[in-house]
């Protein structure tokens, strides 16, 4: 049995490694699960129009954690030049396949794919007018120090006057402390690639010491027994066909107000849900816009 501090650290590292990768090994399923998330796509498109190019011509944009291109492809369609960076080849390959399906040779010519870690950008200084990190990507940095390293890299690659925008979840202490054994969001669905009939459900455990929320996403075979058990919470639970771990560090507003300036960036706006709302109880996403001073 693992009990010592070294074992616990090893377990924690393994959990974080799974929590950074598991959710991104099946890009078709990822796109299926988030196909209704459109508000952020519109917001990032609008941002590129509002902030305008520093030096004329199409904007040079760096997207951290570009994934399958949910945001990248619309930005390419709008005529921008996008460097899509991600640590998962599965996600970048899916992005490239999706763009190929759209037969947009011109858009492909404006796309650069970079397989790298956002804490160490293999990119030259002052080379982007806009850096974005959409959809909770920064929550995969598991300490304040890692976040600061990333912010410093962003400041380095931005041109003076350039913009850095991102969104992360606003920590919700009520949600974070839900019963970690109960399944939520129980949803039957058909896997978009394999055609398997499955039931999606989740639960999570919040480690207040590290500020990391460990989300478990269960994929159970869709049988009448499994449905009854999951929908009515009867024990024992079915053995899932697949269990996906997703680890998200919770980032509090005050951390951003401290870490962005520490990296040489000025925070201009911190608001809610892509609608300019004041941060409060009902807000899910915290949207930050900052810039590198000239
Ligand atoms: C929630 S997805 C967001 C993908 C895309 N931006 C979107 O809006 O759909 C987070 C992405 O960040 C990537 N990621 C996580 N940690 C990373 C790191 N340290 N460096 C680069 N990419 C990372 C993941 O592989 C994943 O594709």
Domain ranges in the chain with CATH number 3.40.50.150? 34-171+252-291
Of the pLDDT bands very low, low, confident and very high (cuts 50, 70, 90), residue 52 is low
Query: Which residues line ligand 1 at a C-beta cut-off of 6 Å?
Result: 20, 24, 65-67, 70-71, 86-88, 91, 117-119, 134-137, 140
Instruction: Say which residue, 208 or 224, is predicted with more confidence.
Output: 208
Average pLDDT, the chain: 93
For the residues 125-146, what does the mean pLDDT come to? Answer: 97
Residue 235 has pLDDT above 70, yes or no: no
CB 40 within 8 A of CB 167: yes
pLDDT score for 238: 76
pLDDT score for 281: 87
Q: Find the DSSP H helices in 27-167.
A: 27-33, 39-51, 72-77, 89-101, 105-109, 144-157
Helix (H) or strand (E) run with residue 225 in it: helix 224-232
| Residue with CA at minimum distance from ligand 1 atom 14 | 65
Distance between CA atoms of residues 248 and 269, nearest Å: 23
Residue-wise pLDDT for 138-163, tens only, equals 999 999 999 999 999 999 999 999 99
CA 9–ligand 1 middle distance (angstroms): 24
Q: Does CATH number 3.40.50.150 belong to domain 34-171+252-291?
A: yes
Of the pLDDT bands very low, low, confident and very high (cuts 50, 70, 90), residue 53 is low
Distance between CA atoms of residues 12 and 217, nearest Å: 18
Would strands 242-249 and 266-272 be described as parallel, antiparallel, or unpaired? unpaired
What is the distance, to the nearest Å, from the Cα of residue 81 to the centroid of all Cα atoms in its chain?
21
pLDDT score for 227: 85
Residue-wise pLDDT for 97-119, tens only, equals 999 988 778 899 999 999 999 99
């Amino acid at each position: 049995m693992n009990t010592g501090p070294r074992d616990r650290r090893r377990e924690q590292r393994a959990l974080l490694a799974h929590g950074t990768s598991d959710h991104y090994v099946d890009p078709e399923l990822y796109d299926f699960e988030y196909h209704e998330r459109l508000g952020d796509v519109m917001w990032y498109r609008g941002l590129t129009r509002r902030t305008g190019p520093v030096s004329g011509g199409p904007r040079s944009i760096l997207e951290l954690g570009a994934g399958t291109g949910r945001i990248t492809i619309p930005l390419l369609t709008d005529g921008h030049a996008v460097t899509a960076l991600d640590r998962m080849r599965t996600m970048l390959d899916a992005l490239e396949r999706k763009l190929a399906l759209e037969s947009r040779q011109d858009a492909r010519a404006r796309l650069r794919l970079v397989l790298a870690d956002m804490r160490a950008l293999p990119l030259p200084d002052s080379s982007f007018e806009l850096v974005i990190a959409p959809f909770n990507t920064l929550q995969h940095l598991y300490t304040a120090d890692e976040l600061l390293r990333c912010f410093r890299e962003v400041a380095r690659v931005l041109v003076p006057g350039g913009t850095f925008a991102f969104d992360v979840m606003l920590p919700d202490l009520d949600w974070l402390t839900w019963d970690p054994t109960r399944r939520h969001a129980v949803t039957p669905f058909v896997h978009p690639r394999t055609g398997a009939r499955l039931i999606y459900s989740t639960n999570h455990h919040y480690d207040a010491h590290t500020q990391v929320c460990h989300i478990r996403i269960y994929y159970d075979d869709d049988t009448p027994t499994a449905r009854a058990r999951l929908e009515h919470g009867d024990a024992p639970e079915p053995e899932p066909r697949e269990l996906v771990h997703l680890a998200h560090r919770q980032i509090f507003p005050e951390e951003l107000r401290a870490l962005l300036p520490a990296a040489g960036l000025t925070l201009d706006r911190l608001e809610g849900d892509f609608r300019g709302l004041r941060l409060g109880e009902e807000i899910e996403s915290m949207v930050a816009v900052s810039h590198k001073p000239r």
